[in-house]
Amino acid sequence: MLCKQCVWGNIRRGLMMYFRVRSRINVKMFLTNCQKLMDVKRRIMYYHMEIFKKADVIVTPTTGMTAPIIPPSALKYGETDMRVTGYLMSFILAANLLGLPAITVPVGYDKQGLPIGLQIIGRPWGEASILRLASAVEELCAMKKQPVLFYDVLKSK
CA atoms within 13 A on the CB side of 22: 6
Handedness of CA 10, 11, 16, 18 (dihedral sign): positive
pLDDT tier, 153 (very low <50, low <70, confident <90, very high otherwise): confident
Sheet holding 115-122, edge to edge: 57-61, 115-122, 102-109
Q: 133 vs 18, 60, 73, 99, 127, CA distance in Å?
A: 58, 13, 41, 19, 10
Angle value at C-alpha 151, between 107 and 139, nearest 5 degrees:
30
Q: 134 vs 69, 77, 104, 155, CA distance in Å?
A: 28, 37, 8, 20
pTM value is 0.69
Separation of alpha carbons 61 and 90, rounded Å: 10
Question: What integer is the mean pLDDT of 26-35?
Answer: 71
Per the model's pLDDT, the better-predicted residue between 88 and 143 turns out to be 88
Per the model's pLDDT, the better-predicted residue between 106 and 18 turns out to be 106
Interval 96-152: pLDDT, tens? 889 999 999 989 888 887 888 999 999 999 999 999 999 999 889 876 676 666 677
Q: What pLDDT is recorded for position 27?
A: 65
Q: What pLDDT is recorded for position 75?
A: 74
Interval 43-87: pLDDT, tens? 999 999 999 999 999 999 998 888 777 777 777 777 777 777 777
Q: What pLDDT is recorded for position 148?
A: 67
* 3-class DSSP state of 62: coil
